[in-house]
Structure 1
Amino acid sequence: MDAEPQLRPRRWGLGAFLLVEMVFLASSLLLGFLLGGQGSLAISQAVLIVAAPTLLAAGAAILITTVRGNGPRIDLKLRWSRRSAGLGLLFGVVGLLFTLPAALLWVWIVGEDANSAAGAVFGGTRSTWAWAVVVFVVIVFVAPFCEEIVYRGLLWGAVDRRWGRWVALAVTTVVFAIAHLEWTRAPLLLVVALPIGLARLYADNLTASIVAHQVTNLLPGLVLMFGLAGAIPQA
């Protein structure tokens, strides 16, 4: 009977996360420089600016764990589990009971500056239903999946290995809020990130935080989709 394969030592840590963040920031700045100076953006360009940096960052995280570790399934705990998906759905729905009132309060306090980066990119744009659905998929499914790989996957794994899972929860929650570079929304993003992080903590599986994050993004994604299609007024 063949012996089970030995796990390779993980040769990545916080430096890997910093490298992935550099990939995200560099690609965001490059796309902003190349496309941002052209005046109003076409919907395809706006989708590229929103989706490409986070896809590149997640791809870099997966590559690092594959080359210098045991791959995302083991190192990032990116493996499908019905139980973890159920926990993610539970934390996502319960989290909405806190994040929705917090978001309404924050809009009342801050006003127009409370708009998200994605909302600013797509704000005032009108497009076809096909492109509106593409934006919905990016906001609700693609972005949460990629962001969870980077924050509750790569960063969580690096911090958890050194200081434990509760420190990982605190660090990833704060870094997630700051890394969006939406300074007026940072306190709100802390509230948003907490149930997502708790889902990751209690499930010990990235599937849970991915699902919780997708539930959190569902309402903003719907608002953007209907706004882009002209079905509802868009700020």
Structure 2
Amino acid sequence: MRSSDSQDPAGEEVGADAPEPSGRPAFHRPTHRWGFGAFLFVEAVLLATAAFVGVFLGGGTPESVPVRDVLIGTMTPTMLAALSALVITKVRGNGPLADLCLAWRWDDVKVGLKFGALGLVCTVVGVLVWTRLVGEDNATSAIGALIEDKPMSVSAAVAMFVYLWLLGPVCEEIIYRGLLWGAAERLGWGSERWGRFAAFVLSTAVFAVSHLEPLRTSLLIVIAIPIGLARLVTGRLLGSIVAHQMNNFLPALAILLTSLGVVTS
């Protein structure tokens, strides 16, 4: 280690000669051995698990799906895919802390909160515009359609709220702005700075498309941009996780209150 270097809390070496997008010293991360193949495998795990759960639980119309099945079908695929991504970084790389740029920094939390606030504004404005364009019935998300007019117990409603607000964003960020982002950066794309921008664009687009809601894809892109910017500015995953969680808070709260019958849809 050079005398000008210091050690990051996550165990990564920090060098003063390699600035981040934010201007602060950047990590010197060891190169990992996974790329787009790893992301495609994780995405296949997500889709295959969703299909298997759908068949196992019997499918049916949204009105006929029990609350328990909604919870299992919503949480299991994304959580299993995120776990697969973590395993890949351990087996084929240097572990999730180094490969996915996971490190606790209050500066990243602050940046995430700022971009999360921007994301809330984009979400509210985007939903209002989108609803006027496609109609209220077509603007409902897939999860919203599943729980619409479906009473939930307090425990089930709280579990859904916690997942949508906190756990779901962590899992999705690991997959898209962790694994996919790292695969895109590994290619280089001509320069380090261009590689980061290419990773931002690619992860934003794939994130939106991967929700498999074609009518809402353009709205999801608008929602995803501030989240991706938090990752781009900080150079780490915590910023985008916090931004994603903050962006999901109001929709998750609305689903919670609707599920408990406090407000009507």
TM value normalised by structure 1: 0.94
- 1:133 match: 158
Question: Residue 207 in 1 paired to residue 238 in 2?
Answer: yes
How many Å separate the matches in 1 of 2:116 and 2:69?
30
| 3-state SS of paired residue (2:150) | coil
* 1:193 paired residue among 205, 216, 224: 224
Would you tell me which structure has more strand in proportion to its own residues? 2
Preserved contact between residue 12 and residue 98 of structure 2 (Cα < 8 Å)? no
* 1:114 paired residue among 101, 119, 139: 139
How many Å separate the matches in 2 of 1:189 and 1:9?
31
How many Å separate the matches in 2 of 1:5 and 1:224?
40
- In structure 2, the gaps of 5 or more residues are 1-10, 14-28, 190-194
- 1:177 match: 208
Would you tell me which structure has more helix in proportion to its own residues? 1
Q: Which 4+ stretches in 1 moved above 2 angstroms?
A: 4-9, 36-39
What aligned pairs does 1:1-235 form with structure 2 within 5 A after superposition?
Answer: 9-37=31-59, 40-111=64-135, 112-162=137-187, 163=189, 164-234=195-265
How many Å separate the matches in 1 of 2:201 and 2:220?
13
How many Å separate the matches in 1 of 2:85 and 2:250?
28
Larger Rg: 2
Q: Which amino acid aligns with 2:66?
A: A
Cα offsets for 1:122-175 (capped at 9, x unmatched): 222101222111110011111100000000000000101212100000000100
| 3-state SS of paired residue (1:187) | helix
When the two chains are superposed, the root-mean-square deviation of aligned CA atoms in Å is 1.7
Preserved contact between residue 200 and residue 228 of structure 2 (Cα < 8 Å)? yes
Higher relative contact order (CA 8 A, sep 6+): 1
Identity %: 45
TM value normalised by structure 2: 0.83
Preserved contact between residue 30 and residue 98 of structure 2 (Cα < 8 Å)? no
